[in-house]
Structure 1
């Protein structure tokens, strides 16, 4: 079975398994259709021009809205919004059902001679202007599906309240108080639940370590001590009410200082990166905090590949399998059957970040050779095609000695 047939079978299986439509669904769909129709009338000319551009293989660049490039195979929704001349981005970037909802940089803030904090600064997408706006109030941000709400933590971690931020107004609509200090947040796939990872101290602490270079000289660098995580457990919260419970998780020596939990696709369990693990660098827990086996469709995934399962759940994004020496930017990652682990195909991209739909992914892909410093850009890649559509400009390399981290993306579904 090839990829096209697998995707078609996936959609048929989903349709067969769907429950009856809820009351009023038709009215909501028709209303949304009328609104979209009005918007489409204003964009007919641009869409026609884009089709012409595709026919000759040249993407169009609109100075106001950016590139509207269409890779092989139609995207499910949303098209492509790209700004290959912007790094970090100033204007909205997205593809299909996925949008770059925010991004952050990190820089060392020294607290003592021996300790400091890798403090993040966020830029959030303003849905009214389509531009990214700096918001220095938050130490941690995650965006819910729908791009209307973000969950935020204030500057001093661990925090003892969680804010639900209205992205349109920039105001916190509600605070959720917590007894155990929180350092990381993640929404469930449907956005109805919020997972908050708790820590005894700031998970972004950095300590000075003495290292010896090749000449035997002693230097100081900022780094982290492996195994020093103060992670204590997690809250599983209902977003609408703020109600939920805290589950303790015993500390583990095979952890980085920041080892945030995230939900499984069905939100019946959670997982976190586990450096000493054999199951794809991930350890699963039930909602009471006890170690458990991975769900059947997630046991072959890796915690260091953010894209994970496709929207249909029938494809799994895995890690880098090949980089072409002497050919900057040409790298491939594996796409597999999530239940068997068997490779279905390879897809361009060195680090798969998010699915745009069941056939397209957003990835980091390097533009430098393997002998040069790593410098990537966001690209859209297509299963079954070698075509790559640049979405952002080239990101500058991180500077670990000074602990200055270049911009990192935060994605959310429309």
Structure 2
């Protein structure tokens, strides 16, 4: 079987199975491929794999949108950096990972004594290849692998429907209703599913409890009720799985956990976890693990030692990027948890490939721990102390209102 036949049959089989891709998708891909003169079996198989994923996660588009080419396809450099931009205005990427967007946040006082934590999202506009601010009505945004689609929730949270926002057209192409309101959604690593966390109240709202005790004021609360798994291709919502937060420790002291405890995916998408506060004895995992049916389970073998690091396990499964500080981030053996290396950066965000990490950190040559909040996006390499700046510096204040928090996704 030749390469073009392999690509054509792979895509046609996927289209038949999912019902989301047009039947002539393979022919259009191969025609475009011949125009670009891309040769080699490995390249064709990679094109097939990428488009299979796209056929699952991207909503049906109109004729104009269908003809549009995502900007991220033309921005192909291995390292795309803008060290003079903070926050970045143009696409930032390294290896197989890009900055899909960022958000800024602030706490707004509400009538009656409550306080509302709000996020304002900016994401990659696939038409322009630049970051574009979204409408402030979106209280939660998560960008899918491939950066063609974002799952969005309207505020005030929790919301009773999930929007599929097309990042080429800028329009919501489909709404997925849920019976119980949700306040967080996260894409699976393969971009085929979403996990949506349900809450009875807005986890981002601090509730005024000054009537309970004079020292209380606006306090967090635990209102998570469970989660749904959603098939991104069909929009089918799975059964509701109960997963409640623990009650307050005393009658008047309020909730002593995290108000937002969203459900997220393991590295391979086979298990789910929730971030949890580490007990003072330090013996507990920083994540509570569950099966996709909501039953308690153990951490995957390669993810027991990642701490709160977003990067976690490397693509080849040989290293875990763990929590860091101004002195750098530890690299540990996923089998034993033993430290095997150290790279610059305080917050490992994502692996660019098996040997490089995108992280937040200060300049290794100037990082003394005294100015840790004046940091930037860096690309660091295993076995090296060198750090390549990807963005400009964020201001040196942890509560600066314009301080941007980067989001990443597979290219």
Question: TM-score scaled by structure 1?
Answer: 0.74
**Matched residue, 2:276:** 274
How far apart are 1:266 and its partner, in Å?
2.7
Find out whether 1:100 has 2:94 as its counterpart. Answer: no
Q: Are the counterparts in 2 of residues 128 and 168 from structure 1 also a CA contact under 8 Å?
A: yes
Q: Secondary structure at the match of 2:203?
A: coil
Residue by residue over 1:319-365, the C-alpha shift from the partner in whole angstroms, topping out at 9 and shown as x without a partner, is 12x64xxxxxxx32111221222222211211101110111100110
Give, in whole Å, the separation in 2 of the partners of 1:375 and 1:301. 24
**Matched residue, 1:289:** 294
Residue by residue over 1:59-99, the C-alpha shift from the partner in whole angstroms, topping out at 9 and shown as x without a partner, is xxxxxx9xxxxxxxxxxx74111111111111111111111
**Matched residue, 2:346:** 350
How far apart are 1:169 and its partner, in Å?
0.3
Superposition RMSD in Å? 2.9
Q: Are the counterparts in 2 of residues 153 and 163 from structure 1 also a CA contact under 8 Å?
A: yes
Give, in whole Å, the separation in 2 of the partners of 1:97 and 1:113. 47
**Matched residue, 2:145:** 145
Give, in whole Å, the separation in 2 of the partners of 1:32 and 1:408. 37
Q: Secondary structure at the match of 1:297?
A: helix
**Matched residue, 2:245:** 251
**Matched residue, 1:411:** 408
**Matched residue, 1:59:** none
Q: Are the counterparts in 1 of residues 224 and 245 from structure 2 also a CA contact under 8 Å?
A: yes
**Matched residue, 1:122:** 121
Give, in whole Å, the separation in 1 of the partners of 2:319 and 2:33. 30
Q: Are the counterparts in 2 of residues 108 and 404 from structure 1 also a CA contact under 8 Å?
A: no
Give, in whole Å, the separation in 1 of the partners of 2:395 and 2:373. 8
The 5-angstrom pairing of residues 57-136 of structure 1 reads 78-136=77-135
**Matched residue, 1:395:** 394
Change (3 A) 1:362 1:35: farther
Residue by residue over 1:85-120, the C-alpha shift from the partner in whole angstroms, topping out at 9 and shown as x without a partner, is 111111111111111111111112221252121111
Q: Are the counterparts in 2 of residues 398 and 405 from structure 1 also a CA contact under 8 Å?
A: no
**Matched residue, 1:310:** 314
Find out whether 1:231 has 2:224 as its counterpart. Answer: yes
Give, in whole Å, the separation in 2 of the partners of 1:78 and 1:245. 42
Give, in whole Å, the separation in 1 of the partners of 2:271 and 2:200. 23
How many residues align structurally?
336
Q: Secondary structure at the match of 1:245?
A: coil
Of the two structures, which has the highest relative contact order with CA contacts closer than 8 Å and spacing of 6 or more?
1
- Which structure 1 segments of 5+ residues have no match? 1-20, 39-64, 66-76, 211-218, 324-330
**Matched residue, 2:192:** 192
How far apart are 1:370 and its partner, in Å?
2.1
**Matched residue, 2:55:** none
**Matched residue, 2:205:** 205
- Which structure 2 segments of 5+ residues have no match? 1-5, 12-25, 39-70, 248-255
Q: Secondary structure at the match of 2:390?
A: strand
Q: Are the counterparts in 2 of residues 284 and 294 from structure 1 also a CA contact under 8 Å?
A: yes
Q: Are the counterparts in 2 of residues 279 and 300 from structure 1 also a CA contact under 8 Å?
A: no
Q: Secondary structure at the match of 2:354?
A: coil
Q: Secondary structure at the match of 1:393?
A: coil
How far apart are 1:252 and its partner, in Å?
2.2
What is the aligned counterpart of 1:341 among 337, 340, 344? 337
Q: Are the counterparts in 2 of residues 200 and 230 from structure 1 also a CA contact under 8 Å?
A: yes
Runs of 4 or more, structure 1, over 6 Å off, are 26-32, 219-223
Q: Comparing 178-187 with 363-372, which one deviates more in the overlay?
A: 363-372
**Matched residue, 1:74:** none
Q: Comparing 366-375 with 104-113, which one deviates more in the overlay?
A: 366-375
